[in-house]
C-alpha cells in the first residue's frame, strides 16, 4: 500500500471495520485537532455504533484490539466516548519520509478520474481599464489552472475578453467624431481594410472614458453609440474591421500585462468570437419553445418554485434587438461544447455576477445545451481599500494592473531595504528579487483568503517578511536553498532520512500532508487550502531548523538525513508556491 500515511491508516482501519461487517468508510482517519497528543484520530465508532448495535466505546475497544498488532501503528488508544487516537509507527514514518524524498511530487497523488476542464476567466473588457476584480480573477484562476493540471486534469484556459458590448459602439462613435474621414466611416469604401490600426492602446485608454462620460451626459450621443453597436452586431463591415483593430491592440497590451503577472491563457477568445452562433441558437430556442416574447424582448424563464428570491428571466434579445451578455455566455457554452467537449466549465468571476451565472446555467440546462452540475461559478469577493470601500486609485479611478504591479514592486524594494534583504547583491539581481517579492506579496495576500470573502488591499502588510505573507514564504525557500548551497560547497551529500527528534517527525508528517491539502484544494476549488499548507510547512521547517543542526550535526549520518529533509522541504515548498503562481528567487 502506498499513499500518504493518512490514507494508509484509513485503509488499515477501514479494513477492520469491514471485518466487523461495517462500511469501511467509518475507518476514515483525520489529522488530530488536539495539540500534543496522537497526530491522527478516527471518529467512525460514534457514527457506526448504531449499525453495529454496540456502544461506541465497546466498538472502539474491539477495533483497538485488532489494530494493535498492525506494523503501521505505534499506539492505538481509545478516548472519551469512543475516539480512536492513532500514532503511526516510527518505521512507517521513516519509510514514508524516504518515499516523499524520492518522489518529485513529494507524495502528491494524481487523480484517477481525469477530466477535461475549461476555465473561463473574468475577462477584462477591450478598451476599458482592467481593475482589481480582474486581477483577482486572474490570480485565482491561474492558481486553479495550475492545481488542476498538477492533479492530472486537462485544462483549457480562456481569457474570455469582453469585446462585444455597448463600449464598442461608444468607441466607434468617439473615433468617428475625432477622425470622420477614416475609411471605416465611408459608406462607399469596400476594402481592403487597412492593416495598420487607426489607434494605439493609449488612444483607446483616453477615448473610452471620454466616450462613456459623453454618452452619460448626452442622450443623443448614447443613441448613436447604441445604434453603432447594433450596426456592428448586424455585420457593418467597416465597424467590424474597427472592432478587430481594437481587439488586436488591446490583446497586445493585455499580453504584456498578464505576462508580467506570470499568467498565461491557452485561448484569447472573447464574446465577439461566438457572434455567428447567436442567430441560429436563438432561432432554435424559439422553435423548441424555450424562448418567449415579453415586452418586445425575447426571454427564457429560469425561476424555480423553490427559489427563495425570485430569479428574473434571462434576456436573450433586448427590445432594441441586441443580444446581451447572457446570450453570449450561452453561445460560448455551445461553442465550447462542440469544439472542446469539456466535462466541466469553471467561471472564475466575482460574486456580484452570481445571478447572471445562475440564469445562464439554468437556461443551458433547460434548453439542453449543457448540464447545470457541470457548470460552476467560482465566486470571489471584492478587494477593498483601507477605508473599507471598493479599492480605487487615490484620485478615485480604477487602478490599472500595470500601476498596481509597479506599486507592489516599489513597496517590495522599500521593505527589502528596511530589512537589509539582498543588500549585498548587485542592482539588477536586487530588482529582479523585488519583482518576485512584489508579485508573491500580491498573489499570496489574495489567495490565502477563503475566496468568497472580501479583503483589504494593504501593500504595507502584504510585503512584510513576517507573518502569513508571500515574502515570508520566499524567505523560507531562500533559507533552504542557502543551506543546500553551503552543503554543496562543503562537499556534503544527503542520505536516507531517519527522523529522531520530535521536530523532524513533525516535519515529515507535515510534508506527508501535502497530498491531502492538494486534493482538498482541488475539490473545493480553493487555493487558500494550499496556502495554509505551504505556510504550515514553512513554519514546521523553521521549528526543525532552530532545533536541529543540519550541517554541524553530531555525526555524518544525521547530517545526511537532515540534509535530505531540507531538500524535500524545498522541493515541496517550491512546488506548492508554483501552484500558487509564485516564483522563488535563488537568494536574497
CB of 349 to ligand ARG, least distance (A): 4
CB of 329 to ligand ARG, least distance (A): 5
SS3 labels along 137-203: HHHHHHHHHHHHHHCCCEEEEECCEECCCHHHHHHHHHHHHHCCCCHHHCCCCCCCCCCCCCCCHHH
Tallying the residues shown for the chain, one arrives at: 588
Q: Is 512 in the site for ligand ARG (CB under 6 A)?
A: no
Q: Is 349 in the site for ligand ARG (CB under 6 A)?
A: yes
Nearest to 128 by CA among 236, 201, 216, 228: 201
Q: Which residue has the cell 485561448?
A: 267
Q: Which helix H or strand E contains 358, and what residues bound it?
A: helix 354-366
Assign 547 to helix, strand or coil.
helix
For ligand ARG, the closer CB: 152 or 381: 381
For ligand ARG, the closer CB: 86 or 345: 345
CB of 333 to ligand ARG, least distance (A): 9
First to last CA, the chain: 41
For ligand ARG, the closer CB: 264 or 488: 264
For ligand ARG, the closer CB: 199 or 345: 345
Q: Are 132 and 92 in contact (CB under 8 A)?
A: no
Q: CA-to-CA distance for 421 and 73, rounded, in angstroms?
A: 45
Question: What nine digits make up the cell of 373?
Answer: 452540475
Site residues for ligand ARG, 156-215, by CB under 6 A, read: 160, 162
Q: CA-to-CA distance for 29 and 15, rounded, in angstroms?
A: 12
In this structure, are strands 297-300 and 292-294 parallel, antiparallel, or unpaired?
antiparallel
CB of 314 to ligand ARG, least distance (A): 13
Residue showing the smallest CB distance to ligand ARG in the complex? 162
For ligand ARG, the closer CB: 13 or 332: 332
In this structure, are strands 383-384 and 455-456 parallel, antiparallel, or unpaired?
parallel
- Judged by CB under 6 A, the stretch of 122-130, 423-431, 459-467, 496-504 that binds ligand ARG is 122-130
Q: Is 391 in the site for ligand ARG (CB under 6 A)?
A: no
Q: CA-to-CA distance for 64 and 145, rounded, in angstroms?
A: 43
For ligand ARG, the closer CB: 346 or 565: 346
Q: Are 83 and 41 in contact (CB under 8 A)?
A: yes
Q: Which helix H or strand E contains 30, and what residues bound it?
A: strand 29-31
Binding mask 21-40 for ligand ARG (x = CB under 6 A): --------------------
For ligand ARG, the closer CB: 376 or 519: 376
- Judged by CB under 6 A, the stretch of 87-95, 118-126, 312-320, 485-493 that binds ligand ARG is 118-126
**Facing residues of 158 across strands?**
120, 267
Q: CA-to-CA distance for 184 and 158, rounded, in angstroms?
A: 30
Q: Is 142 in the site for ligand ARG (CB under 6 A)?
A: no
- Judged by CB under 6 A, the stretch of 115-123, 408-416, 440-448, 575-583 that binds ligand ARG is 115-123
Q: Contacts with ligand ARG: how many residues (CB under 6 A)?
A: 9
For ligand ARG, the closer CB: 120 or 504: 120
Q: Is 123 in the site for ligand ARG (CB under 6 A)?
A: yes
Q: Is 475 in the site for ligand ARG (CB under 6 A)?
A: no
Among 12, 120, 512, 513, the residue binding ligand ARG under the rule CB under 6 A is 120
Nearest to 505 by CA among 454, 461, 544: 544
Assign 125 to helix, strand or coil.
strand
CB of 123 to ligand ARG, least distance (A): 4
CA angle 477, 134, 473 (to 5 degrees): 10
- Judged by CB under 6 A, the stretch of 119-127, 276-284, 490-498, 502-510 that binds ligand ARG is 119-127
CB of 158 to ligand ARG, least distance (A): 8
Q: Are 143 and 104 in contact (CB under 8 A)?
A: no
- Judged by CB under 6 A, the stretch of 121-129, 363-371, 390-398, 403-411 that binds ligand ARG is 121-129
- Judged by CB under 6 A, the stretch of 16-24, 56-64, 93-101, 116-124 that binds ligand ARG is 116-124
Q: Is 257 in the site for ligand ARG (CB under 6 A)?
A: no
Assign 454 to helix, strand or coil.
coil
For ligand ARG, the closer CB: 108 or 349: 349
Q: CA-to-CA distance for 469 and 478, rounded, in angstroms?
A: 15
For ligand ARG, the closer CB: 59 or 132: 132
> Distance between alpha carbon 269 and the CA centroid of its chain, in Å?
20
Binding mask 310-329 for ligand ARG (x = CB under 6 A): -------------------x
Assign 264 to helix, strand or coil.
coil
For ligand ARG, the closer CB: 214 or 324: 324
Q: Is the dihedral of CA 416, 421, 426, 429 positive or negative?
A: negative
Binding residues vs ligand ARG (CB under 6 A) = 120, 122-123, 125, 160, 162, 329, 347, 349
Amino acid at each position: 500500500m502506498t499513499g500518504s500515511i493518512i490514507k494508509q491508516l484509513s485503509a488499515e482501519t477501514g479494513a477492520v471495520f469491514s471485518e466487523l461487517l461495517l462500511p469501511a468508510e467509518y475507518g476514515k482517519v483525520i489529522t488530530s485537532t488536539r495539540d500534543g497528543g496522537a497526530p491522527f484520530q478516527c471518529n467512525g465508532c460514534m457514527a457506526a455504533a448504531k449499525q453495529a448495535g454496540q456502544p461506541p466505546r465497546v466498538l472502539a475497544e474491539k477495533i483497538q484490539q485488532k489494530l494493535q498488532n498492525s506494523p503501521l501503528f505505534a499506539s492505538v488508544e481509545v478516548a472519551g466516548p469512543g475516539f480512536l487516537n492513532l500514532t503511526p509507527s516510527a518505521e512507517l514514518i521513516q519509510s514514508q519520509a524516504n518515499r516523499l524524498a524520492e518522489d518529485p511530487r513529494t507524495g502528491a497523488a494524481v487523480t484517477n478520474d481525469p477530466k477535461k476542464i475549461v476555465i473561463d476567466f473574468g475577462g477584462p473588457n477591450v478598451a476599458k481599464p482592467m481593475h482589481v476584480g480582474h486581477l483577482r480573477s486572474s490570480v485565482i484562476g491561474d492558481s486553479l489552472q495550475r492545481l488542476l493540471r498538477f492533479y492530472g486534469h486537462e485544462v483549457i484556459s480562456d481569457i474570455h475578453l469582453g469585446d462585444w458590448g455597448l463600449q464598442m459602439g461608444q468607441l466607434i462613435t468617439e473615433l468617428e467624431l475625432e477622425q470622420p474621414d477614416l475609411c471605416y466611416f465611408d459608406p462607399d469604401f469596400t476594402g481592403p481594410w487597412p492593416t495598420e490600426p487607426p489607434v494605439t492602446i493609449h488612444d483607446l485608454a483616453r477615448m473610452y472614458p471620454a466616450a462613456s462620460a459623453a454618452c452619460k451626459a448626452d442622450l443623443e450621443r448614447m443613441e448613436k453609440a447604441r445604434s453603432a453597436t447594433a450596426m456592428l452586431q448586424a455585420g457593418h463591415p467597416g465597424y467590424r474591421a474597427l472592432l478587430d483593430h481594437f481587439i488586436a491592440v488591446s490583446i497586445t497590451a493585455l499580453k504584456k500585462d498578464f505576462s508580467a503577472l506570470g499568467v498565461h491563457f491557452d485561448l484569447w477568445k472573447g464574446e465577439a468570437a461566438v457572434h455567428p452562433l447567436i442567430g441560429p441558437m436563438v432561432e432554435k430556442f424559439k422553435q423548441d419553445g424555450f424562448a418567449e416574447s415579453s415586452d418586445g424582448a425575447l426571454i427564457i424563464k429560469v425561476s424555480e418554485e423553490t427559489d427563495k428570491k425570485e430569479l428574473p428571466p434571462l434576456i436573450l434579445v433586448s427590445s432594441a434587438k441586441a443580444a446581451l451578455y447572457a446570450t453570449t455566455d450561452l453561445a460560448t457554452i455551445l461553442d465550447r461544447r462542440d469544439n472542446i467537449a469539456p466535462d466541466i466549465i469553471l467561471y472564475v468571476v466575482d460574486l456580484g455576477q452570481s445571478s447572471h451565472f445562475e440564469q445562464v446555467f439554468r437556461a443551458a440546462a433547460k434548453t439542453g445545451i449543457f448540464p447545470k452540475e457541470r457548470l460552476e461559478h467560482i465566486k470571489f469577493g471584492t478587494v477593498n481599500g483601507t477605508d473599507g470601500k471598493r479599492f480605487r486609485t487615490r484620485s478615485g479611478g480604477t487602478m490599472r494592473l500595470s500601476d498596481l504591479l509597479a506599486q507592489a514592486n516599489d513597496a517590495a524594494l522599500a521593505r527589502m531595504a528596511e530589512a537589509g534583504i539582498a543588500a549585498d547583491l548587485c542592482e539588477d539581481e536586487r530588482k529582479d528579487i523585488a519583482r518576485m517579492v512584489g508579485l508573491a506579496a500580491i498573489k499570496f495576500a489574495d489567495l490565502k483568503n477563503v475566496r468568497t470573502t472580501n479583503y483589504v488591499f494593504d501593500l504595507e502588510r502584504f510585503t512584510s517578511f513576517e507573518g502569513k505573507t508571500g515574502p515570508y514564504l520566499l524567505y523560507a525557500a531562500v533559507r533552504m536553498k542557502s543551506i543546500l548551497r553551503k552543503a554543496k560547497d562543503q562537499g556534503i551529500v544527503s542520505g536516507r532520512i531517519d527522523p529522531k527528534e520530535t521536530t523532524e517527525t513533525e516535519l515529515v508528517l507535515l510534508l506527508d500532508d501535502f497530498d491531502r491539502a492538494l486534493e482538498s484544494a482541488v475539490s473545493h476549488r480553493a487555493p487558500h487550502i494550499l496556502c495554509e499548507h505551504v505556510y504550515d510547512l514553512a513554519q514546521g521547517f523553521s521549528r526543525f531548523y532552530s532545533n536541529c543542526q543540519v550541517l554541524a550535526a553530531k555525526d555524518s549520518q544525521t547530517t545526511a538525513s537532515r540534509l535530505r529533509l531540507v531538500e524535500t522541504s524545498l522541493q515541496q515548498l517550491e512546488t506548492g508556491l508554483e501552484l500558487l503562481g509564485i516564483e522563488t528567487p535563488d537568494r536574497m
